[in-house]
Structure 1
Amino acid sequence: MKNFYLLMLCCFALVHTTFAQQLKSPDQKFQMEFSLQSDGTPVYSLNYKGKVVVKPSKLGLELKNDAKSLLNDFTISDTKTSTFDEVWKPVWGEVASIRNHYNELVVTLNQKVSERQLIIRFRLFDDGLGFRYEFPAQKNLTYFVIKEERSQFAMAGNHTAFWLPGDYDTQEYDYTTSKLSEIRGLTTKATTENVSQKTFSPTGVQTSLMMKTADGLYINLHEAALINYSCMHLNLDDKNMIFESWLTPDANGDKGYMQAPDHSPWRTIMVSDNATEILSSKMTLNLNDPCKIEDTSWIKPVKYVGVWWEMITGKSSWAYTDDFSTVQLGVTNYDKSKPNGKHGANTANVKKYIDFAATHGFDAVLVEGWNEGWEDWFGQFKDYVFDFVTPYPDFDVKGIRDYAKSKGVKMIMHHETSGSTRNYERHMDKAYQFMKDNGYDAVKSGYVGPILPRGENHYNQWTVNHYQYAIEKAADYKIMVNAHEAIRPTGICRTYPNLIGNESARGTEYQAFGGSKPNHVTILPFTRLIGGPMDYTPGIFEMDISKLNPGNTSHLNSTLANQLALYVTMYSPLQMAADLPENYMRFADAFQFIKDVAIDWSDSKYLEAEPGEYISVARKAKGTNNWFIGNVNGETARVSNITFDFLEKGKKYEATIYADAKDAHYKTNPQAYNIRKIKVNNKSKLSQFSAPGGGYAISVIEIK
């Protein structure tokens, strides 16, 4: 009787699915299965070390004005498996070389009635799964419009998630930590005010989505190689715990205009039972194409200061004058206006920053608010906002260029588009040539406010293509790009390493807008940084913003030691010392760490991590035998225990430890820190206190 029931169970399974195609990771810890349901619907599942990560989940795309779409009625016409293993060297990065090792399954599907073909490509790494849809050239699928992608991620439980509300226009929210089942009830509270936002569902969330299961698995859902496609969000069926892809629409509500041959971005699922392995994963980069820039010698990591924080806090202004209620470039005569006395980007002030950079070994100076138009730049759906080449009367472009050059300091250009992408493209060649003519090798671009043309969103296909156009055009001029308010990164910096930074998340500026949660920086490396580095702009030493601007009562939810640690834990080849020079001089001994810390690395070791609670990282400075360590801590004080076994055997080092004092607290005593020096080697251990919202930073210098 038992065998009879087993036989019937097998027959029942065969009715609902075809024979499953299996794929294992190189280390055999992952197993993926692919099959077709009885109606020809593609389905996949994923296990890790015998534990279910993704239950059987449907794949496919719904097409506009197409009765069949690409959802079902498929048969398998071909399957191919292969193995790939290479080592490649990034232009800059957390490590000097990256191994790209995966097993691949390529499934070719034929749709019987429409006689169309769809390919689904799976790559299984030792750290997770990537899959994408491919649309080969064919007679019956040429031009088509995506109504919605229907990729599912069926979770095996009610996991704890670290999430942002699903939004077409911003990622600049604090993270909410909750069970999946609680998202619906918390979305309204989690959707805090932003200058441009458009949420779409009470259970919609953004990628990169970090989760933890009850039995200790860490799961991350994201995408890689987002090119010519709309950004993917996730919408949760909270009754069945199934996430489904939700693409960003355009002004018409359409979610993608495609022409075969083409393919989607990769959908990624990272899994580990150790949180540090999520942080160290290079899967997102590996799913992107190799570098397309032949000569990369001009792409260099940058440590910079800038005329920025004084405007963010309200101490000074971007605008030159208060005389005009509205301005028109080429018509408004700034020479006849009265300066407001608050304009930060004036020649004398900028030279002070150049002097500071030269004295303390910084590579560059960023200046915002240097160009005409800031009096009337936001909120009017204004197309012709800036021309990116005309300075205010008090900003001497040539004089500053020559002064910076004489001091051995580079200048970083600022291009705020006010969301007017058409205007930026209209001026881009002229603006980039202006930069090269005046010695600017890097640009910080911004996309604050609603996107123009009207109705487009920050994350839909049209605007994603604009961001890519800007990166590629900049590469033609040998310009590095740091894009703010743009699409969240998906590893494209491998293909175009002149993309040396993005914001695309809630950065330090929000500490001057009311503050971020003290655990914010313990989540970002698990989420936003999965796709690439962030220009987080750390290094704020004066936490009481009212001391810069009495009208601003904001307070940083961070200790000073935490701010130092961010230079290590928030990886980026573009790092800013964001505070005012005078505040660094008040704490000159702590400022020494910012001066010393490297920004390009040959190796990185994630020592301990728990999303939302703490992260400790050690990184080896490229071309040296020196290491730097950073620890950031969340809301609860703890003792961090690390070992120095990553140090070279037989070598001795001096470790300078910048740590929270015992009474430090992000709210009540943020500037309490101490500095001490100890001798260490590869057998040394350290137990170090981290305050609430605190942390520590360590420079580990080889003793010659």
Structure 2
Amino acid sequence: MKPVKTGTIALLLFLSLIVRAKPPLEISRGPVSLQFSITEDGKPVYAILYNGRDVVKPSTLGFMLESDSLFYKGFSLISADRKTVDETWVPVWGEYSSIRNNYEQLTAHLKHRSGKLLDIVFRVFADGVGFRYEFPKQTGLTYFVVKDECTQFQLTGNHKAFWIPGDFDTNEYAYTTSLLSEVNNAPVVRAATDIAVRTVTDSLAVQTPLMLKTADGLYINIHEAALLNYPAMQLHIDKSGFKLSSNLVPDAYNNKAYLHAPEHTPWRTVLISDKATEILASKTILNLNDPPASTDLSWIKPMKFVGVWWEMQTGKGTWNYSDYPDSTDAHGQLIPNGRHSANTANVKRYIDFAAQHGIGGVLVEGWNRGWEDWFGNWKENVFDFVRPYPDFDIKEITSYARSKGVQMIMHNETSGSATSYERQLDTAFRFMQQFGYPAVKTGYVGRIVPRGEHHDGQWMVSHYERVLQQGMKYHIMVDAHEPARPTGLQRTYPNFMACEAARGNEYHAFSNGNQPDHETILPFTRLMGGPMDYTPGIFKLKGYAPWAPDRSVHSTLAKQLALYVTIYSPVEMVADLPENYEAKPDAFQFIKDVPVDWDDTKILEAEPGDYVTIARKEKGKNNWFIGAITDENARTAGIQLNFLQKGKKYKAVIYEDAKSAHWKTNPEAYAIRSMTVDSNTKLLLSLAPGGGAAISIMQSE
């Protein structure tokens, strides 16, 4: 080999530094701009600005692979592509009749010093940025293991944060509001004894979506979009420099992802605005998901539903038919405990109630065998998804519901045994088809089987997708409980109607519940990724738990009505007992009237942790519904109705807190008034502590 002179080496190094030191690539849309560059040691770096202000200062990107622990430096930029997209698409259901998808895209094609290729794709919207990694098909990288993702978010200061712990197995914590420097999830995790499974290994880890507010009034939301075949991303906080680092959920071998090129990661998202209302109005996360593959989607129908769920939560009945798995008679038959809620006569009562009040569905939990042996046991083969208990006559119930124009909703609790559920999935969905069940509520309470996997790890993320895929095949809509938090996948899988993945209303039944600010934080955090099955509409707010007479729902009744607007879901539960609604028929009218599918949404006012007011226009009609909620502080909400059609008169029915209402001392006190309104009307609503208001606005004939 011919020797290279020292001067030549120096010249080559100098030229290399010149290439890396050239001005960064930049793209922008509206007030948001993104810069991308390569450092002198070959690290990919990005930065985000809003109206020229730093939001994310230069932050590094890359990976630690099993085969290359330094796959975050030593890169060079081969080329870059740009494009502009401006399109409009129509969702199958949702908060809007159409959604605009408008962004600038930059794709940086990188080559590692090992010869491996990596692309980083950035999309800049008027309200934020999404970026993801893409591994092209190449000879140097086929099957590979991700040990860590090295994505960082270098913040500009000690922002206020609305956070829950970065737990591998649950998203059901109460929210903490603190400065980033004050985050320590260890005491929060220790105190959360009402959560079935907790797995937190990093006291400085927080879950996404993470909502932040800067000292000078900028709102920042960090999350991800299109989570498929990859673990959920949490964030580790470096308090010394207020730097956030991606923290992926591992498997039993502490590996994060097993990939096969060509492949890509989910999108990392940063939403930014100087108005809190614009954060809630953002559709960037939804836009970063792919459209559905199927064109036959007419079978997907939003609905409200009732069910036996709350009576079991409050101890009136049980999920289990017998008290113990070995409680059998001389013939080996289960001995009934006499408290089983999912019995034929009781279910018919709920069907009658739904039919009488125009509610489309009835969900029945505890109908199938296995409930005696399910909770807290890390085992397989707990539930049979096609075998009812002896007192649940599925043929009779199906026939009765059909005669009343009501659809039954299936319930499949897995006890965390995803392997067992996958083996029975085809059988279970064929069973639903046979008996005309259009939707299923799935559940994953317990430690996951396969053992060593977590609810939010790659294996389970793929499991949830497999359930959605089977649902598309069998025309089954899915409402998943205890899954990974959503990331906009309802666009790709429109049968993914809702999920839980957060602390819901049920915690008022078996624990100390949710504080009054909880529902004012959820829209800025959990709901950024998709609809939530929060189970609103509780009317009996005290005295519902015999074993805990002082327990109460931390809400007024008017606020429970408002939640049907502020916490969006296309499948909304009418969660309380029928008799509690029958005792207050005037307030129940709002639940009967409020739709679950919308043409338009207006975020009228919002501040995370304090208050939210939202107006929505009914699908296909000129009717509007408004929900306004507050935290533990009373407030006056001023609502300008300038979104109404000009020149038209409307009848507004206002369901509001009575003057004496208070979430703690007098939660069920409400008042109802009617008035004629138009686009020039301004309403002033007095919200009680922990209270709210709900308004139906119907166009006059």
TM-score range normalised by the length of the shorter chain: over 0.9
Residues 224-283 of structure 1: CA deviation (Å, up to 9, x unaligned): 000100100000101110000000001111100011000000000000000011111000
Provide closer, same or farther for how the CA distance between residues 334 and 252 of structure 1 changes in structure 2, counting only shifts above 3 A: farther
Distance in 2 between residues matched to 1:334 and 1:136, nearest whole Å: 63
Shift of 1:549: 2.9
Q: Show the counterpart of 2:48.
A: 46
Q: Show the counterpart of 1:8.
A: none
Q: Show the counterpart of 1:348.
A: 345
- TM-score, normalising length: structure 2: 0.96
Which of 51, 57, 60 is 1:58 aligned to? 60
- TM-score, normalising length: structure 1: 0.95
Q: Is the CA contact 2:556–2:692 (under 8 Å) kept in the aligned structure 1?
A: yes
1:642 equivalent to 2:644? Answer no
Q: Show the counterpart of 1:397.
A: 394
Equivalent positions of 1:554-565 (< 5 A) are 554-565=551-562
Equivalent positions of 1:37-186 (< 5 A) are 37-68=39-70, 70-112=71-113, 114-184=114-184
Which of 656, 660, 665 is 1:663 aligned to? 660
Shift of 1:191: 5.6
Q: Show the counterpart of 1:498.
A: 495
Residues 186-232 of structure 1: CA deviation (Å, up to 9, x unaligned): 75468612111101211100000001000100000000000100100
1:587 equivalent to 2:584? Answer yes
Distance in 2 between residues matched to 1:412 and 1:319, nearest whole Å: 18
Q: CA RMSD in A?
A: 1.7
Provide closer, same or farther for how the CA distance between residues 676 and 346 of structure 1 changes in structure 2, counting only shifts above 3 A: same
What letter is aligned with 2:279? I
Q: Show the counterpart of 1:522.
A: 520
Q: Show the counterpart of 2:669.
A: 672
What letter is aligned with 1:528? R
Q: Show the counterpart of 2:237.
A: 236
Q: Show the counterpart of 1:317.
A: 318
Shift of 1:15: 8.0
Distance in 1 between residues matched to 2:59 and 2:182, nearest whole Å: 22
Equivalent positions of 1:623-638 (< 5 A) are 623-638=620-635
Distance in 2 between residues matched to 1:552 and 1:186, nearest whole Å: 31
Q: Show the counterpart of 2:301.
A: 300
Q: Is the CA contact 1:173–1:190 (under 8 Å) kept in the aligned structure 2?
A: no
Distance in 1 between residues matched to 2:440 and 2:111, nearest whole Å: 47
Provide closer, same or farther for how the CA distance between residues 99 and 190 of structure 1 changes in structure 2, counting only shifts above 3 A: farther
Q: Show the counterpart of 1:285.
A: 286
Shift of 1:17: 5.6
Q: Show the counterpart of 2:24.
A: 21
Provide closer, same or farther for how the CA distance between residues 190 and 338 of structure 1 changes in structure 2, counting only shifts above 3 A: closer
| Contiguous gaps of at least 5 residues in structure 1 | 1-10
Distance in 2 between residues matched to 1:402 and 1:226, nearest whole Å: 40
Residues 582-603 of structure 1: CA deviation (Å, up to 9, x unaligned): 0001111100000000110000
What letter is aligned with 1:245? S
Provide closer, same or farther for how the CA distance between residues 33 and 530 of structure 1 changes in structure 2, counting only shifts above 3 A: same
Distance in 1 between residues matched to 2:219 and 2:331, nearest whole Å: 56
Q: Is the CA contact 1:335–1:393 (under 8 Å) kept in the aligned structure 2?
A: no
Distance in 2 between residues matched to 1:654 and 1:25, nearest whole Å: 44
Report SS of the residue matched to 1:492. Answer: coil
Distance in 2 between residues matched to 1:532 and 1:557, nearest whole Å: 24
Distance in 1 between residues matched to 2:598 and 2:392, nearest whole Å: 36
1:542 equivalent to 2:540? Answer yes
How many residues are aligned here? 685
Shift of 1:63: 0.7
Report SS of the residue matched to 1:239. Answer: coil
Distance in 2 between residues matched to 1:334 and 1:567, nearest whole Å: 49
Q: Is the CA contact 1:22–1:31 (under 8 Å) kept in the aligned structure 2?
A: no
What letter is aligned with 1:236? I
Distance in 2 between residues matched to 1:583 and 1:16, nearest whole Å: 71
Q: Is the CA contact 1:480–1:498 (under 8 Å) kept in the aligned structure 2?
A: yes
Shift of 1:65: 4.1
Report SS of the residue matched to 1:495. Answer: coil
Q: Is the CA contact 2:398–2:408 (under 8 Å) kept in the aligned structure 1?
A: yes
Residues 436-494 of structure 1: CA deviation (Å, up to 9, x unaligned): 10110100000001000111100110111000000001110000000000111100100
Q: Is the CA contact 2:33–2:49 (under 8 Å) kept in the aligned structure 1?
A: yes
Distance in 2 between residues matched to 1:145 and 1:398, nearest whole Å: 49
Distance in 2 between residues matched to 1:323 and 1:492, nearest whole Å: 39
Q: Is the CA contact 1:20–1:34 (under 8 Å) kept in the aligned structure 2?
A: no
| Contiguous gaps of at least 5 residues in structure 2 | 1-13
Report SS of the residue matched to 1:405. Answer: helix
Report SS of the residue matched to 1:115. Answer: coil
Shift of 1:19: 2.2
Name the stretch that deviates more: 684-693 or 264-273.
684-693
Report SS of the residue matched to 1:523. Answer: helix
Equivalent positions of 1:366-377 (< 5 A) are 366-377=363-374
Task: Give the fraction of aligned pairs with identical amino acids, expressed as a percent.
Answer: 56
Shift of 1:370: 0.3
